[in-house]
Amino acid sequence: MITVLLADDQAMLRAGFRSLIELADDITVVGEATDGPDAVRMARLLRPDVVCMDVRMPGGDGLTATREIVGTLDPAPAVLVLTTYELDEYVFGALEAGASGFLLKDADVDTLLDAIRRLAAGQGMVDQAVTRRVIVEFARRRRAATPADTGSDVLTAREAEIVRLLADGLSNAEIAAELVVEVSTVKSHLSRAMAKIGTRDRVQTVIWAYRSGLISWET
């Protein structure tokens, strides 16, 4: 059973998300938090698999809470940022704070449940409406980075190749077909790569690829 903590300052929204999430047989809501500090406290107490985090909450914002949850809990739950705001600053801020996914609050229930399952499985996801902007912005920031400080040379040639294909948006099965190897081989290489670079899911691995200079993107 996938366990979820809801963090939102509006009681009606929390109730709505709870009712939608618990339509699924494999997901349950174990707690509700009303602001960022409350979310951090409850995440430490309940140890959920996924935290559904609002961005703007009186008494403590979701990005600060996300950074603290991801940075201090071991193992850390995956954080899915849910917001009504499609502004770049929230998307970038959420991902850089350590969130594994970003979803607009008007997403349909199937998309929400799929996102929770993906994050619980270590895959991560970003709303399709903002994916392109995220990639372009991280590519822009990569050009200002210092590759020598990123540790991109820790990967083997095959691991680096798989991370590049992952950043291109390919699934494990598609990477396996591209490289003419088994899916299990792709998973093994990707797991080793993530362990070396210290990322916990696919989204953060793609971010690392751009930041490290492993991927070049011309806008």
CATH code of the domain in which 99 resides:
3.40.50.2300
Highest-scoring range by mean pLDDT, 129-133, 170-174, 182-186: 182-186
On whether residue 217 sits in a domain, the answer given is no
Task: Give me the sheet containing 2-7, strands edge to edge.
Answer: 27-33, 2-7, 50-54, 78-83, 101-104, 125-126
Instruction: Name the more confident of 136 and 125.
Output: 125
Q: Give the pLDDT confidence score for residue 113 in this predicted structure.
A: 94
- Residue 137 maps to a domain: no
What's the rounded mean pLDDT across residues 196-213? Answer: 81
Residues 62 and 152 in one domain: no
Q: Could you read off the pLDDT of 40-96 as tens digits, one per residue?
A: 999 999 999 999 999 888 878 888 999 999 989 988 999 998 877 666 667 777 777
Residue 150 confidence (pLDDT): 53
Distance in Å from the first CA to the final CA of the chain = 42
Task: Verify that 110 and 152 share a domain, yes or no.
Answer: no
CB 126 within 8 A of CB 154: no
Q: Does 144 score more than 90 pLDDT?
A: no
- 218 in any annotated domain: no
Q: Which range marks the domain in which residue 48 is found? A: 2-126
The domain boundary residue, chosen from 126, 157, 185:
126
Q: Does position 33 have pLDDT exceeding 90, yes or no?
A: yes
- Whole-number Å distance between alpha carbons of 93 and 88: 8
Higher pLDDT, 200 or 19: 19
Letter for the amino acid at 182? Answer: E
Between 165 and 124, the higher pLDDT residue: 165
**41 within a domain of the structure (yes/no):** yes
- Same domain for 108 and 51? yes
| Residue 138 falls inside a structural domain | no
Residue 63 and residue 122 share a domain: yes
Cβ(76)–Cβ(45) below 8 Å:
no
Give the per-residue pLDDT at 123: 76
Please classify residue 145 by burial: count the beta carbons closer than 10 Å to its beta carbon, then call 0-12 exposed, 13-18 middle and 19+ buried: middle
Higher pLDDT, 200 or 50: 50
Residue 145 has pLDDT above 60, yes or no: no
pLDDT at residue 29 in the model: 97
1-13 per-position pLDDT tens digit: 999 999 999 999 9
Is 129's pLDDT higher than 60? no
Number of folded domains that form the chain = 2
Using 50, 70 and 90 to split pLDDT, how confident is the model at 148? very low
Model confidence, pTM: 0.75
Give the pLDDT of residue 143.
56
Separation of alpha carbons 104 and 67, rounded Å: 20
Task: Output the domain CATH number for residue 187.
Answer: 1.10.10.10
* 19 and 112 co-located in one domain: yes
The per-residue pLDDT for 219 is: 41
Q: State whether 12 and 64 are in the same domain.
A: yes
In the structure, what pLDDT confidence band is assigned to residue 141 with cuts at 50, 70 and 90?
Answer: low
